[in-house]
Chain A
Amino acid sequence: MADDRRARTIALKIKRQDGPGQPGYWQEFAVPWHPRMNVISALMEIQKQPVTASGQKVTPVVWECVCLEEVCGSCTMRINGRVRQSCSALVDVIAPGDGPIVLEPMSKFPVVRDLVVDRSRMFEDLKRVKAWINLDGSHELGAGPRQSPESQEQTYPLSRCMTCGCCLEACPQVNPSSDFVGPAAISQVRLFNLHPNGKMHASERLEAVMGEGGVEGCGKAQNCVEVCPKEIPLVDSIASVGRDATKHMLLGWLLK
């Protein structure tokens, strides 16, 4: 039994692309199975033996990874059609029949090479919505504001967003012909507007998501919550920011 398992090979079908704007093409690999194998360790095997299933010597597959414990967001890709992190994709779970495991880069961001995409737009969006506390400075100013355990329990899950892009990938409203900012940044607006100090600048953040490409762009498909690996209540966030934005618009108009 043990020997049988050692002889197993896992089939991988990987979409490759040599550089930005170049055409994609597929390659297949057969990698020896090992215990506790995940998609990352399968890709690492290809680095050591960069040969396709048909025996052709190729350059190893290029992909991005850092922490390998699903907390940095780097290694996000489409695996068997579903967007997720590749480190937590355990081979025995996703390919009980030994594959093929299909790997593709995310489709909503420009490809850099093979499975690596450029998600800079997400970081730019964080700038746009001012996802920060307006700190007076890092000098000593004593303790921060008191907060109840309940408020921490509300904000902590929102604060775990690792800018991985799964929610944008899954969202039908995020596409080349729309400039919808996407669920992640909107949820950050909610996070900072909940903080006792962050609240003081809530209107700036709301205004940032009020216009073109803002919270109104959500089509309520609810795909984002399905794919968010951190189980962030994105639909709630969008609804709550949407309500606040409407309120702000009305009040802002009344006050004028």
Chain B
Amino acid sequence: MAASKSLVRSESGKVRRVIVVGGGLAGLMTVIKLCEAGVPVDLFSLVPVKRSHSVCAQGGINASVNTKGEGDSPQVHLEETVYGGDFLANQPPVKAMCDAAPSIVFMLDRMGVPFNRTPEGLLDFRRFGGTLFHRTAFAGATTGQQLLYALDEQVRRWETVDVEDDRGERVAGEKMVRKLEWWEMIGLVTDDEGVCRGIVAQDLKNMSIVAFPGDAVCLATGGCGIVFGRSTNSVINTGTAASAAYQHGACYANGEFIQVHPTAIPGADKLRLISESVRGEGGRVWVPRDPKEQRAGREVPESARDYFLEEKYPGYGNLVPRDIASRELFKKCFHEHRGVYNRESQRNENEVYLDVTHLPREILQKKLAGVLEIYEKFVGEDPFVNPMRVFPAVHYSMGGLWVDFDRAANGSLVMGSPRNQATSIPGLYACGEADYQYHGANRLGANSLLSCLWAGMVTGPAIAAYRKNVARSAWDMPSSLFEKAEKRERKAFEAILALDGAENPYALHDELAHTMLVDCTIERDNATLDKVLAKIEEIAERSRRVGVTDTAVGKMNQGAQYVRHLRNMIVLARVIALGARNRDESRGAHFKPQFTQRDDANWLRTTMAFHKAGANGENDAVRFVRAVDYTLLGQRVEVKDEVDTTLVRPRPRKYETAGAASTAAKG
């Protein structure tokens, strides 16, 4: 912005704000960093931010503090994260994240997160998948909830702080954070040059549609697990915002990498997670050696149990990374029909035992109560006495909106660079599970909370720098720009309200989810994927003939909202399934029985997808590219799909051997 102008007030006297969409960990961290940089924020969320999906996280957050004197370090953390992700992650952002991790956990501690403690009063750490070190800080087994609350409290505090103008004087009636909860971002506002100038959002209490200017927009809108229907995700995780941005022209990256968590409880509405921390604290996975074993789990003697993960992977045992554990469980149940036998149904169900009954009750109560409670509440069995019955479930999206990074000479990030976390639409940023940046082809447990917080810490300063240097503020743009966008979205919503076809949108989502879940998760066969793709096109076509289940105007209307989410999910499903169809190799969570090897020569690269809207009533399509170019603050940036592997050279993954995941670690 021109130096003579006020950074705080627009020409018409309004406070210049930026927009953060999403109040999970990533969004809230971004808000805090922005406020500290003096940037006023409008924060949008589908639900009161304290109820965001981040509350679900159970197990913990990684940081190589080395409290246990095992020789852990951020370098080892980097190596293991990259190795666990099968070398698909760009390494500089991962390095920066791992280096910052200890200070992030200390910050959370200062904010009052009730982390578990060692007898000396230091932070306690436990083990998680893909490492041999005690690296995961935790607050009981509701770590995500505790972290989210700590940030929520800090942001609430910023809600009470007045905006100051350029001379340091308070601006009456204007607070640093303005929360718009129960507001859904439904579209972007971009100007003629394609620069993002704000969003269009809908008030979910009365469905009114309003355009909001913002000098930059950050999407911290979480993952898209609900594309697969029942999963470990919260029901609001439809990926609708990321999908809207993608349809507006943002690049979506590595969509095909969807993490399936090995241990969840089968359920009618949700597949509730049983955290990896259960295995981190010593929980063991097994099935009876005899597939027709009739005795209850607790009565099966040791000699009749097959601890198949420990046997096959003596190095990491029950704590092999999730992609591997899920495939092994799937193999046991689907291919070998060795799931736990159920006397009532008289067949081997798709369930294995996850057993903590050998562990001391006191430890379980102190460290795992939150998770074990969930099992007890929802299954009605006591996990202290009976081995739990679990099966894999869709859990996390490694893919997401493509974002850039600015590499520093030392292999880390240039902090404060406006390129960090920038999407391919100038002025639009993304962070948290909504971005694709930190986990490659498979995320290690307890690295997500970390990546959300870290990405927020990077995005805040990036946006502050962008805002300072942008040639013209959104707040000085003509109102016609916003009116046009508002009109566009109103028209789209009215069209939804007018839908009176025969298809029920909820039932259609069930169909989509079923095909995605059964044929596009743990094992992906090309011929089957072709069928999945055909099914997606069929569903896309039928989605035009849905009948909206609620036509209420001027009041909360979840039926109409759902149609929008459904359409956006169909778009993402196509990106995911096509990405999977194209990638003829196996890497991390993406496994093809026809191509069981990783193929670095052809596929050590980021999948980059752009939306191609269908003309004249045709279905949409995906355009895959080998490079993204965009213009940021007047400078053209081109980024190829090559992965930056300059810090840790790619090598095959072998979790059979202890210590294989990092050269620095001793087994």
Contacts and interface: CB of A to CB of B under 8 A. Distances in A.
Interface string B40-56: 00000001101111011
8 A-B pairs with the lowest CB-CB distances in the bound complex, closest first:
A144-B109, A146-B121, A132-B153, A41-B269, A41-B268, A68-B270, A156-B114, A72-B51
Contacts of A142: 106
B112 A198 contact: yes
A36 interface: yes
Interface stretch (B391-399, B517-525, B554-562, B581-589): B554-562
Interface string A67-105: 111111110000000000001101001000000000000
A255 interface: no
A132 B111 CA distance: 8
The secondary-structure label for the interface of chain A is: loop
Interface in B127-147: 139-140, 142, 145-146
A143 interface: yes
A132 B55 CA distance: 18
A90 B273 CA distance: 18
Interface of B: 29, 32-33, 36, 47-48, 50-53, 55-56, 103, 106-107, 109-112, 114-123, 139-140, 142, 145-146, 149-150, 153-154, 156-157, 159-160, 181, 205, 234-236, 266-270, 272-273, 344-345, 366, 370, 374, 377-378, 380, 457, 504, 506-507, 510, 549-552, 554-556, 558-559
A19 B337 CA distance: 52
Given A67-B53, A123-B48, A149-B116, A132 B154 contact: yes
B117 A152 contact: yes
B556 A112 contact: yes
A74 B51 contact: yes
Contact of B156 (A65, A123, A159): A123
Given A138-B32, A197-B112, A88 B106 contact: no
A140 interface: yes
Contacts of B153: 126, 131-133
A44 B121 contact: no
Output the residue of A67, A90, A151 with the most chain B CB within 10 A: A67
Contacts of B507: 48
Contacts of A40: 269
Interface in A22-73: 34-38, 40-41, 44, 47-48, 50, 59-60, 62, 64-73
Interface in A100-159: 112-113, 116, 118-120, 123, 126-127, 130-135, 137-144, 146-149, 151-153, 155-156, 159
Contacts of B139: 156, 159
A41 to B, nearest CB: 4
B268 A36 contact: yes
A72 B366 contact: no
B110 A135 contact: yes
A144 B156 contact: no
A71 B55 contact: yes
A62 to B, nearest CB: 5
B558 A138 contact: no
Nearest to A149: B117
A180 interface: no
Given A66-B52, A67-B56, A68-B269, 5 more contacts: A18-B555, A35-B268, A41-B268, A130-B157, A153-B366
A160 interface: yes
Contacts of B554: 19
Nearest to B232: A69
B115 A113 contact: no
Contacts of B556: 19, 62, 112-113, 116
A146 B120 contact: yes
Contacts of B109: 143-144
A195 B112 contact: yes
B149 A159 contact: yes
B50 A163 contact: yes
Contacts of A59: 549-552, 559
A127 B268 contact: no
Interface size of A as a range: 35 or more
A88 B236 CA distance: 18
B235 A66 contact: yes
A69 B373 CA distance: 10
A34 B145 CA distance: 30
Contacts of A120: 48, 181
A162 interface: yes
Given A60-B559, A74-B47, A159-B149, A67 B55 contact: yes
Contacts of B47: 64, 66, 72, 74
B20 to A, nearest CB: 15
Given A123-B156, A149-B119, A138 B36 contact: yes
Nearest to A60: B549
30 contacts: A36-B378, A64-B47, A66-B47, A66-B234, A66-B236, A67-B56, A70-B374, A72-B52, A74-B51, A88-B378, A90-B380, A113-B556, A116-B556, A118-B205, A123-B156, A127-B160, A130-B157, A132-B112, A132-B156, A132-B157, A133-B112, A133-B153, A135-B111, A135-B157, A138-B32, A138-B36, A143-B122, A149-B118, A152-B116, A163-B50
A38 B111 CA distance: 36
B266 A36 contact: yes
B506 A44 contact: yes
Interface in A165-218: 192, 195, 197-198
Given A68-B270, A133-B112, A195-B112, A148 B374 contact: no
A236 to B, nearest CB: 17
B360 to A, nearest CB: 15
Contacts of A143: 106, 109, 122-123
Contact of A50 (B119, B269, B549): B549
Contacts of A118: 205
B406 to A, nearest CB: 20
B566 to A, nearest CB: 12
Contacts of A90: 378, 380
Given A112-B205, A133-B112, A155-B114, A47 B506 contact: yes
B119 to A, nearest CB: 7
A88 B380 CA distance: 11
B462 to A, nearest CB: 15
Contacts of A36: 266-268, 378
Output the residue of B32, B142, B551 with the most chain A CB within 10 A: B142
A146 B159 contact: no
Output the residue of B115, B510, B552, B556 with the most chain A CB within 10 A: B556
Contacts of A73: 50-51
A162 B49 CA distance: 11
Contacts of A132: 112, 153-154, 156-157
